[in-house]
Structure 1
Amino acid sequence: MSSPVRRADAAENRARIIQAARAVIASSDELRLNAIAKQAGVGQGTLYRHFPTREDLLAEVYRQDVDELVAAAPALLAEHEPVAALARWFDQVADYARVKRGVFAAVEVAVWKDLSAHSLGPIGDALTTLLDAGKADGTIRPDVDARDVILLIGYLSRLGEAEWDARARHLLDVVLDGLRRRR
């Protein structure tokens, strides 16, 4: 039986590995597991115990990003008016999309399909929550739904790294402006 200290240590190692992987994905086209292990301050054996394959690690980074994005919607609505909450959520979408693009580029097609199934429903539900709040207070157009927005923001996957900083958030602002109800 494992001691509580050992389990806490393992959980901490796992979290550091995921954090290092997220940073590498966001900043590099090349994902080298030995570099991630070094950045996380763990040995390669520890990395492979937690994530036997590169795809396992990438899938976990992706799943955590989806979970964080979904959890952000109600939290943002609790603190901000609907349009401001949606704008802040879009900021998180831009960060998420940058990581997602790197993850999808590196994960095999079968894994990608599983990840897409995991994310589409919860992300659509979170977006619906934000849109419904804006519709209820009259700031969001009544004729849009989550699927419309997901289709519109799909362009993020087409932005190259060279133009990401200049265009990603600007284009999300354009989408947000199109979602606003005109009075």
Structure 2
Amino acid sequence: MMADYLIFFMIVLGVNLMPAFGPPTWSIIVLYGLNTKLPVPALVLIGALAAASGRFLLAHGFRLLAGRLPEKMKRNLAAAREALGQRKRNAILGLGLFALSPVPSAQLFEAAGLTRVSLLPFTAAFFVGRVVSYSIYAVSAQHIRESSIGDAFRRSLTNPLGIALQLAMLGLLVALSQIDWEKHLRRK
């Protein structure tokens, strides 16, 4: 039983280390909930912990990458970090919305790593939000045990809209790092 939990943790951790195109963690939780005897509350907590750990490590990887960026991009990212730090109320509201959002989180953690924002509050909010959202998915999955989850899982990985969203988020990450935030924020 402990090995099953460890394998589950490692799968979710690995998926959340992927910078893009990983299957959503909720789908792994649903698959495990439908195909194993592991209790759903444990899957939700372990899944949320593994997802938060993976995203935290992903952000740290991008933090290391930030040192290799061109100087202009470093200045832009530093100005973005400073702007986020000046508007604490907006940052807290945004963090709360992000925590409960179904939007792909990889690129948000990549941006957090590049801008060198404090990762612990960011990751903690992500963990709490994922416990809530994964609980909803896992409980819902208990009610659809008879349906074909394999087809639903395959559709989530090959959905053109999902792929386009991942590509758009990656493009947005690159575009945001190119903006001269210092210049734009000084005007305001």
TM-score by length of 1: 0.36
Higher relative contact order (CA 8 A, sep 6+): 2
TM-score by length of 2: 0.35
